[in-house]
Amino acid sequence: MISLQALKQRFQIIGNSTGLNRALEKSIQVAPTDISVLVTGESGVGKEVIPKIAHQLSHRKHSKFIAVNCGAIPEGTIDSELFGHEKGAFTGATQTRAGYFEVADGGTIFLDEVGELPLTTQVRLLRVLENGEFIKVGSSKVQKTDVRIVAATNVNMQEAIRKSKFREDLYYRLSTVEINLPPLRERTDDIHLLFRKFCSDFAQKYNMPTIKLEDEAVNTLINYNWSGNIRQLKNIAEQLSVLEENRKISKTVLEDYLPNSVDNLPAIISNKSKKSEFNNEREILYKVLFDMKGDLNDLKKLTLELMQTSNINEFKKNNEQLINKVYKEDNFSNEDNIEIVELENNKSNKNNKDFNDEFDYIQEVKAIESLSIQEKELELIKKSLEKHDGKRKLAAKELGISERTLYRKIKQFNL
């Protein structure tokens, strides 16, 4: 059996954290078997290296290894991609096509982002795992395949199962052995090692001197919360290598390349200075939303107190300031008094009934609040995509979300 150090050299793995070593040790142990493996971890932690280890250290190493990104294949064609189709099975199927499970017979298939698979495809995949059988799209003939499946996901599978987005039986079939790769922020001793390796590689690639960090910059690098993990670290290393003329990087220079926030929010309102507040359309829209939310909360408070009070005049007196805030320039006139009295009379006539109507109103207020936020989010996404001519990467960067999150939003809103 290969040693841990030899494995790292062979697959160019850098780091010595406990979590990483444990994941690699499990990979070495499970590789010679045909057990299905589920690799979990955040996006950008390097999950793709585990399937390669499982394949190269197994008896299947001389057969095909096929990596499939399940999240990148449209739902309407993924069955055809995985299992193949017969000629005429659907519009555009001009000839019979072999799917990945047929092509990789005797080898290994890596299903990346397996949590994105449609439920119908999950049923087909479960059959392959159970007895090695599959049927091409448009065919009735059962075919056999001998494929080892290694899957990976950054989705919380238990949450997906709870929401009925992923089959529980398939999860347990895939995760006979589960290998978790820790996020970069939990590998603090490895961060600078990885950064130096990336800088060295880029120096060779672009034929320029290797950049180095000052001591304070090293501390900043280590203490930063790397939401994009190794992928983000590599990106920062490449930017610095290409753009900075001074090859000694200070803390100040490094901070210019690090995003200020790691939150995965649609937009971020800066609290740095009142002078810079509302400096773009996105911040103005969100300020409107927050104000609207406050008004709705005030309205709900008034409604609840109105349902519970038995004295209209006392209610008006106690809530005069809040009523003026909610209605602003509208006069709380006699007509308002009449409406309140009518509501009070209606309430007194319901001695033997509950207050479902009032509670329905509160739920409606909550729905309006939720809908307003969703509409503004949709509007922001549309504007950003139009601004960048449909380029998701640039739009996601401007919105302050990951490209994967933007892709899900596009699917959610059917853009």
pLDDT at position 14 is: 94
List Cα–Cα distances, 155 to 10, 20, 88, 115, 184, in angstroms. Answer: 29, 19, 36, 6, 17
Residues 379, 309 share a domain: yes
pLDDT-derived band at 287 (thresholds 50, 70, 90) equals low
* Of the residues 211, 241, 257, the one at which a domain ends: 257
Q: Is residue 341 part of a domain?
A: no
Write out the two tokens for 394.
């640039």
pLDDT-derived band at 188 (thresholds 50, 70, 90) equals very high
Q: Which domain range does residue 394 map to?
A: 281-336+350-412
Q: In terms of pLDDT, which residue wins out, 373 or 261?
A: 373
pLDDT in tens, 117-140: 999 999 999 999 999 999 999 999
pLDDT-derived band at 149 (thresholds 50, 70, 90) equals very high
Residues 232, 119 share a domain: no
Residues 175, 123 share a domain: yes
Residue 342 clears pLDDT 70, i.e. is over it: no
Q: Is residue 275 part of a domain?
A: no
Residue 28's CATH number: 3.40.50.300
199 Cβ partners below 8 Å, 6+ apart? Answer: 210, 211, 212, 237, 240, 241
Number of domains in the chain: 3
Residue 331 clears pLDDT 70, i.e. is over it: no
Residues 175, 195 share a domain: no
pLDDT-derived band at 332 (thresholds 50, 70, 90) equals very low
Residues 243, 222 share a domain: yes
pLDDT in tens, 3-41: 999 999 999 999 999 999 999 999 999 999 999 999 999
Residues 369, 303 share a domain: yes
Residue given tokens 């999860």 in the structure block: 171
* Of the residues 155, 182, 209, the one at which a domain ends: 182
Residues 189, 84 share a domain: no
pLDDT at position 263 is: 43
Residues 218, 249 share a domain: yes
**pTM value?**
0.61
Residues 194, 150 share a domain: no
Q: Is 364 in contact with 370 (CB distance < 8 Å)?
A: no
Residues 221, 176 share a domain: no
pLDDT-derived band at 302 (thresholds 50, 70, 90) equals low
Q: Average the pLDDT over 212-236 and give the result.
A: 95
